[in-house]
Amino acid sequence: MTERQHITIKGVKEGLVFLLDDACEFSALLEELHYKLEKSHQQLLTGPIVHVQVKLGSRQLSEDEHEQIRAIIRAQGNLLVQSIESDAPALPEEEPGNNIKLLTGIVRSGQTIEHDGNLLLMGDLNPGGSLLCTGDIYVLGALRGLAHAGIEGRTDVVIAASLLRPTQLRIADIISRPPDEWMTGDASMEFAYLNDGVMKIDKMTQLNRLRKEPLLFKAYSV
Protein backbone atom coordinates (compact mmCIF):
# COMPACT_ATOMS: atom_id res chain seq x y z
CA MET A 1 0.00 0.00 0.00
CA THR A 2 1.42 3.38 -0.95
CA GLU A 3 1.51 5.96 1.84
CA ARG A 4 -1.19 8.58 1.59
CA GLN A 5 -0.76 12.26 2.35
CA HIS A 6 -3.98 13.25 4.14
CA ILE A 7 -2.36 13.07 7.59
CA THR A 8 0.89 14.63 8.79
CA ILE A 9 2.40 13.55 12.11
CA LYS A 10 4.77 15.97 13.80
CA GLY A 11 6.78 15.68 16.98
CA VAL A 12 6.52 18.59 19.42
CA LYS A 13 7.79 19.18 22.95
CA GLU A 14 4.50 17.99 24.45
CA GLY A 15 4.28 14.82 22.31
CA LEU A 16 2.78 14.45 18.82
CA VAL A 17 0.51 16.57 16.65
CA PHE A 18 -1.65 14.88 14.02
CA LEU A 19 -2.57 17.32 11.24
CA LEU A 20 -5.60 16.00 9.34
CA ASP A 21 -6.55 17.18 5.87
CA ASP A 22 -9.85 19.06 6.08
CA ALA A 23 -10.79 18.58 2.40
CA CYS A 24 -10.81 14.80 1.89
CA GLU A 25 -13.53 12.30 2.78
CA PHE A 26 -13.72 11.41 6.48
CA SER A 27 -13.57 7.70 5.62
CA ALA A 28 -10.25 8.30 3.81
CA LEU A 29 -8.86 9.93 6.97
CA LEU A 30 -9.81 6.94 9.10
CA GLU A 31 -8.30 4.51 6.61
CA GLU A 32 -5.02 6.43 6.46
CA LEU A 33 -4.91 6.83 10.25
CA HIS A 34 -5.19 3.05 10.61
CA TYR A 35 -2.45 2.53 8.03
CA LYS A 36 0.03 5.02 9.45
CA LEU A 37 -0.33 3.87 13.04
CA GLU A 38 -0.13 0.17 12.21
CA LYS A 39 2.37 0.23 9.31
CA SER A 40 4.44 3.20 8.22
CA HIS A 41 4.86 4.97 11.58
CA GLN A 42 4.78 1.97 13.89
CA GLN A 43 8.43 2.34 14.97
CA LEU A 44 7.82 5.95 16.08
CA LEU A 45 4.85 5.06 18.25
CA THR A 46 6.41 2.66 20.71
CA GLY A 47 7.73 3.22 24.19
CA PRO A 48 6.35 5.35 27.03
CA ILE A 49 3.05 7.24 27.01
CA VAL A 50 2.88 9.89 24.26
CA HIS A 51 0.32 12.71 24.31
CA VAL A 52 -1.41 13.38 21.00
CA GLN A 53 -3.08 16.56 19.78
CA VAL A 54 -5.33 16.13 16.74
CA LYS A 55 -5.83 19.17 14.50
CA LEU A 56 -8.79 18.98 12.13
CA GLY A 57 -8.30 22.28 10.31
CA SER A 58 -11.67 23.72 9.29
CA ARG A 59 -13.37 20.29 9.40
CA GLN A 60 -16.26 20.15 11.89
CA LEU A 61 -17.00 16.66 13.26
CA SER A 62 -19.71 15.13 15.40
CA GLU A 63 -18.91 13.62 18.79
CA ASP A 64 -19.33 10.15 17.26
CA GLU A 65 -16.72 10.96 14.60
CA HIS A 66 -14.40 12.31 17.31
CA GLU A 67 -14.78 9.00 19.11
CA GLN A 68 -13.88 7.05 15.95
CA ILE A 69 -10.60 8.97 15.77
CA ARG A 70 -9.92 8.45 19.48
CA ALA A 71 -10.59 4.71 19.18
CA ILE A 72 -8.05 4.26 16.35
CA ILE A 73 -5.38 6.20 18.24
CA ARG A 74 -6.13 4.48 21.58
CA ALA A 75 -5.56 1.14 19.89
CA GLN A 76 -1.85 1.99 20.06
CA GLY A 77 -1.29 1.37 23.75
CA ASN A 78 1.21 4.16 24.32
CA LEU A 79 -0.85 6.97 22.70
CA LEU A 80 -3.09 9.22 24.79
CA VAL A 81 -5.38 11.67 22.97
CA GLN A 82 -5.06 15.02 24.69
CA SER A 83 -7.30 17.08 22.38
CA ILE A 84 -9.16 17.05 19.07
CA GLU A 85 -9.57 20.58 17.75
CA SER A 86 -11.19 22.30 14.78
CA ASP A 87 -10.54 25.85 13.70
CA ALA A 88 -13.36 28.27 14.50
CA PRO A 89 -15.69 28.51 11.50
CA ALA A 90 -15.23 31.69 9.48
CA LEU A 91 -17.84 34.37 10.06
CA PRO A 92 -19.71 35.55 6.99
CA GLU A 93 -18.39 38.79 5.62
CA GLU A 94 -20.57 41.77 6.24
CA GLU A 95 -22.01 43.44 3.19
CA PRO A 96 -20.94 47.07 2.86
CA GLY A 97 -23.54 49.38 4.33
CA ASN A 98 -25.36 46.55 6.13
CA ASN A 99 -23.28 46.26 9.30
CA ILE A 100 -24.17 48.05 12.51
CA LYS A 101 -21.71 50.04 14.59
CA LEU A 102 -22.35 49.92 18.35
CA LEU A 103 -21.35 53.08 20.23
CA THR A 104 -21.29 53.44 24.00
CA GLY A 105 -21.21 56.79 25.77
CA ILE A 106 -22.50 60.29 25.13
CA VAL A 107 -22.27 62.22 21.87
CA ARG A 108 -21.76 65.79 23.08
CA SER A 109 -22.25 69.20 21.48
CA GLY A 110 -19.81 69.65 18.62
CA GLN A 111 -19.28 65.91 18.05
CA THR A 112 -20.30 64.25 14.77
CA ILE A 113 -20.36 60.48 14.32
CA GLU A 114 -20.60 59.20 10.73
CA HIS A 115 -20.87 55.57 9.63
CA ASP A 116 -21.50 53.55 6.47
CA GLY A 117 -24.24 51.21 7.67
CA ASN A 118 -26.55 51.13 10.68
CA LEU A 119 -25.70 52.92 13.93
CA LEU A 120 -26.64 51.99 17.51
CA LEU A 121 -25.80 54.42 20.34
CA MET A 122 -25.98 53.03 23.87
CA GLY A 123 -26.20 56.45 25.49
CA ASP A 124 -27.42 59.98 24.77
CA LEU A 125 -27.14 62.30 21.80
CA ASN A 126 -26.91 65.78 23.30
CA PRO A 127 -28.05 69.02 21.62
CA GLY A 128 -25.36 70.16 19.20
CA GLY A 129 -24.20 66.56 18.56
CA SER A 130 -24.86 64.74 15.27
CA LEU A 131 -25.30 61.16 14.13
CA LEU A 132 -25.01 60.55 10.37
CA CYS A 133 -25.20 57.18 8.65
CA THR A 134 -26.28 55.49 5.44
CA GLY A 135 -28.60 53.08 7.30
CA ASP A 136 -30.75 53.12 10.44
CA ILE A 137 -30.07 55.02 13.67
CA TYR A 138 -31.00 53.53 17.05
CA VAL A 139 -30.38 55.45 20.29
CA LEU A 140 -30.90 53.59 23.57
CA GLY A 141 -31.05 56.84 25.49
CA ALA A 142 -32.16 60.40 24.79
CA LEU A 143 -31.89 61.71 21.24
CA ARG A 144 -31.74 65.49 21.63
CA GLY A 145 -29.37 66.43 18.80
CA LEU A 146 -29.40 65.99 15.01
CA ALA A 147 -29.84 62.54 13.51
CA HIS A 148 -29.59 61.96 9.76
CA ALA A 149 -30.24 58.42 8.49
CA GLY A 150 -29.98 57.41 4.83
CA ILE A 151 -27.41 60.12 4.09
CA GLU A 152 -26.75 58.62 0.66
CA GLY A 153 -30.40 58.60 -0.31
CA ARG A 154 -31.97 55.49 1.24
CA THR A 155 -35.58 56.15 2.22
CA ASP A 156 -36.35 52.78 3.85
CA VAL A 157 -34.35 53.59 7.01
CA VAL A 158 -35.56 54.55 10.48
CA ILE A 159 -34.43 56.71 13.39
CA ALA A 160 -35.38 55.29 16.80
CA ALA A 161 -34.73 56.38 20.38
CA SER A 162 -35.78 55.66 23.94
CA LEU A 163 -36.53 59.38 24.24
CA LEU A 164 -37.06 61.13 20.91
CA ARG A 165 -36.55 64.87 21.46
CA PRO A 166 -34.34 65.91 18.52
CA THR A 167 -33.33 69.35 17.34
CA GLN A 168 -33.74 67.90 13.86
CA LEU A 169 -34.27 64.55 12.13
CA ARG A 170 -33.42 63.80 8.51
CA ILE A 171 -34.10 60.71 6.44
CA ALA A 172 -32.49 60.87 2.98
CA ASP A 173 -33.31 64.43 1.87
CA ILE A 174 -36.48 64.74 3.97
CA ILE A 175 -36.17 67.04 7.00
CA SER A 176 -38.52 66.65 9.94
CA ARG A 177 -41.17 69.25 10.61
CA PRO A 178 -40.91 71.31 13.81
CA PRO A 179 -40.95 68.82 16.73
CA ASP A 180 -44.13 70.20 18.28
CA GLU A 181 -46.02 69.29 15.10
CA TRP A 182 -45.29 65.58 15.12
CA MET A 183 -43.87 64.34 18.44
CA THR A 184 -46.37 62.45 20.56
CA GLY A 185 -44.98 63.32 23.97
CA ASP A 186 -45.17 59.60 24.80
CA ALA A 187 -42.39 58.35 27.10
CA SER A 188 -42.14 54.98 25.30
CA MET A 189 -39.44 54.25 22.71
CA GLU A 190 -40.40 55.59 19.30
CA PHE A 191 -39.06 55.65 15.76
CA ALA A 192 -39.34 57.99 12.79
CA TYR A 193 -39.73 56.75 9.23
CA LEU A 194 -40.87 57.93 5.81
CA ASN A 195 -44.30 57.19 4.43
CA ASP A 196 -44.94 58.55 0.92
CA GLY A 197 -42.21 61.13 1.41
CA VAL A 198 -43.57 62.37 4.74
CA MET A 199 -41.81 61.74 8.06
CA LYS A 200 -43.98 59.84 10.53
CA ILE A 201 -43.52 58.60 14.10
CA ASP A 202 -44.68 55.38 15.73
CA LYS A 203 -44.00 53.21 18.78
CA MET A 204 -41.08 50.77 18.56
CA THR A 205 -43.51 47.88 18.99
CA GLN A 206 -44.63 48.61 15.43
CA LEU A 207 -41.13 48.49 13.92
CA ASN A 208 -41.57 44.87 12.89
CA ARG A 209 -43.95 46.11 10.21
CA LEU A 210 -40.96 47.66 8.45
CA ARG A 211 -37.90 45.78 9.62
CA LYS A 212 -37.40 42.06 10.20
CA GLU A 213 -33.79 41.27 9.29
CA PRO A 214 -31.17 40.53 12.01
CA LEU A 215 -28.48 43.10 12.76
CA LEU A 216 -24.71 42.61 12.85
CA PHE A 217 -22.85 44.36 15.66
CA LYS A 218 -19.44 45.99 15.99
CA ALA A 219 -18.59 47.63 19.28
CA TYR A 220 -16.89 51.02 19.61
CA SER A 221 -16.62 53.74 22.24
CA VAL A 222 -17.52 57.34 21.61
pLDDT of residue 44: 61
Q: Is residue 93 part of a domain?
A: no
Judgement on whether residues 128 and 202 belong to the same structural domain of the protein: yes
List pLDDT tens digits, range 131-185.
Answer: 999 999 999 999 999 999 999 999 999 999 999 899 999 999 999 865 655 555 5
pLDDT of residue 177: 65
Q: Is the pLDDT of residue 108 over 50?
A: yes
Q: Is the pLDDT of residue 9 over 60?
A: yes
Tell how strand 190-195 and strand 159-164 pair up: antiparallel
List pLDDT tens digits, range 42-72.
Answer: 666 667 888 889 999 888 888 889 899 999 9
Q: How confident is the model at residue 99 (pLDDT cuts 50, 70, 90)?
A: confident
- Domains: count for the chain: 2
Q: Is residue 52 part of a domain?
A: yes
Judgement on whether residues 127 and 43 belong to the same structural domain of the protein: no
Is the model's pTM score more than 0.85? no
Whether residue 103 contacts residue 122, with contact meaning beta carbons closer than 8 Å, is answered with yes
State which residues form the domain around 136.
100-221
Q: Is residue 91 part of a domain?
A: no
Q: How confident is the model at residue 212 (pLDDT cuts 50, 70, 90)?
A: low
Judgement on whether residues 121 and 217 belong to the same structural domain of the protein: yes
Q: How many CB atoms lie within 10 A of CB 162?
A: 16
pLDDT above 90 covers a percentage of the chain that reads 38
Boundary of a domain, candidates 85, 110, 139:
85
Mean pLDDT of the chain: 82
Q: How confident is the model at residue 216 (pLDDT cuts 50, 70, 90)?
A: very low
Q: Is residue 59 part of a domain?
A: yes
What span, in angstroms and rounded, lies between the C-alpha atoms of 52 and 66? Answer: 14
pLDDT of residue 178: 59
47: CATH = 3.30.160
Q: What is the DSSP string of 33-67?
A: HHHIIIIITGGGG-SS-EEEEEE-TT----HHHHH
